Amino acid sequence: MNLFSDSVLRLLEMPLIAPYRWVDNPVAGFFIGTMCLAMMTVMLGEVVISISIRLNRSHLNTLTRNIVHHETLSMQAYAEGDKTSYKALNQVAHDAWGKHFFTMVAYSAGMLSPVPFALAWMQHRFHDVDFIMGWPLHFIFGQTVSYVFIFILLYILCRVLFKYLRPYLPYFKNVQKMLDAAGGTASPTQPVASGAGADARSPEKSGDASGTEPVAP
């Protein structure tokens, strides 16, 4: 396993280390290189989640259809005054929504999957590099911080920047459309993987679809 990881790190060495050598100043070079590495990590995470959604699109659509179908049936049962069927169908819709919600959480976690690999490479190159923290930050973070602290800060910055750059990037603007479709509002006629579509309407908040007075649950 160590032999494999070492081989991978050597393969990635040249393209990853290049930005660190763009300027002669070592401190400036470290921040420029780490900024580039963080942005590459963000972009690779976006690719990972886009592939995951593409591979599981049919599963997401199945969950969405279940949400919409059972929610529609539950509201029909409520309109007819069938409280038992309403509650049963509403519970099924909630269960399907829960499955969809946690599926999307797993996809979101997949966006972070390249981060450990980036940190592993930095450990290989900068394990002995520390930065002195000035006043008053040293009271919070200690006298020095490692490359991990710098990378996390720059990764957060790059994720914020990428949010605004994504609509202008050819491949990644389509990723945003996929994410919007996967997390948009479900429609009874157009299945979209959504948690919002499973928002169960309680008898206290919903009236009879035909305009009559709601039946007390």
Q: What is the pLDDT of residues 172-198, one digit of tens each?
A: 877 767 766 666 434 333 333 333 333
Give the pLDDT of residue 208: 44
- For 130, the 3-state DSSP assignment is strand
Within-domain flag for 173: yes
Kindly state the greatest CA–CA separation across the chain: 77
> Would you give the DSSP letter of residue 21?
G
Residue 78 maps to a domain: no
Q: What's the total number of domains in the chain?
A: 1
201 in a domain, yes or no?
no
- Top pLDDT among 1 and 17 is at 17
213, part of any domain: no
* pLDDT tens-digit readout, 95-141: 888 887 887 787 778 888 899 989 988 988 888 888 777 777 666 66
The answer to whether the CB of 32 falls within 8 A of the CB of 163 is no
The pLDDT of residue 156? 96
| Residue whose pair of structure tokens reads 């280390």 in the numeric block | 17
Rounded Cα gap, residues 20 and 174, in angstroms: 31
Helices and strands in the chain: count of H runs, count of E runs? 8, 2
88 part of a folded domain = no
CB atoms within 10 A of CB 125: 16
